[in-house]
Amino acid sequence: MKLREIIDTIESSYPTHLAYDWDNVGLMVGDYEHDIEKIMTVLEVNEDVVDEAIEKNVDLIVSHHPFIFGKIAKVNSETLKGRLIQKLIKNDIDVYSMHTNYDIAFDGLNDYFMEIIGIGNTKVLDAIDSDEFYYDGKKYGIGRIGELKEKTTLREFCKRLKNILESDCVRAVGNPDASIQRVAVVTGAGSEFASKSMAMGADVIVTGDVKYHEAQDVYDAGMNMIDCGHFDTENIFKDVMYRFLSSEISDVEIIKSEVNLNPFNIIV
């Protein structure tokens, strides 16, 4: 199957125009006419992932985080990114990245997160006020908000998240015994949406990469927040994209990366 056909299939559900202006999505490295026999899904691309792709004879890596982000002045062996690009091209491996367009799209990362943690009756948390983000009667936007079937406590909900996401650590702001039912989610880094979540009646917002002063503001506002970490809220990308590609594409082998990309270790 040609790379162009695979990209068309992906972008029919997750169009690149949904991405924020500052983002970089789409084909990062590769040839649209390349014949693809094996695809690997992964959160992001580093040297370990590239080596894994070479070892497993992968033709296409589909990542969530953009492989190329920001300015690249040179592509040579003196820089890490340059070496990776050279290694990818030498081994005929393409890289396609889908970032904020996948966060925003329906049936994307935020919707899948809501699904696996048991949140129903979901709506867009922060709709984007632009005509290009309104299509087929739907208003697109970042994050989701919905409800648990039954109320729980902040403490018990943290335990549930830790178990489902297989996290080493989950942090929370708020009273551990606070009642939780209406839940907002922004995968990755989304603490900036805490006020929006509270305005929409959320009992808690679940996200990652929460800074100290952001947490302090949430605490002072009497809001609850759970920080599951950037990695743990988005590493599920490889699972949901595996599911999507397996259902939409035939005659191509789909695998998930087995490389541990979490840069943090809980020491004590």
**245 near 13, Cβ under 8 Å?**
no
**19 near 51, Cβ under 8 Å?**
no
In angstroms, the CA 182 to CA 149 distance is: 9
Whether residue 99 is annotated as binding a ligand: the answer is: no
Whether residue 64 is annotated as binding a ligand: the answer is: yes
Whether residue 234 is annotated as binding a ligand: the answer is: yes
Residue 91: phi and psi, rounded to 5, are -105, 15
Q: With CA atoms as reference, report the closest residue to 262 among 220, 208, 213.
A: 208
Whether residue 17 is annotated as binding a ligand: the answer is: no
Q: What's the sign of the alpha-carbon dihedral 94, 230, 191, 120?
A: positive
Whether residue 230 is annotated as binding a ligand: the answer is: yes
Beta partners for 121?
A: none
Here the tokens at position 78 are: 């003196």
In angstroms, the CA 160 to CA 172 distance is: 13
Q: With CA atoms as reference, report the closest residue to 205 among 142, 261, 163.
A: 142
Task: List residues forming the annotated binding site for a divalent metal cation.
Answer: 64-65, 103, 230, 234
Task: List residues forming the annotated binding site.
Answer: 64-65, 103, 230, 234
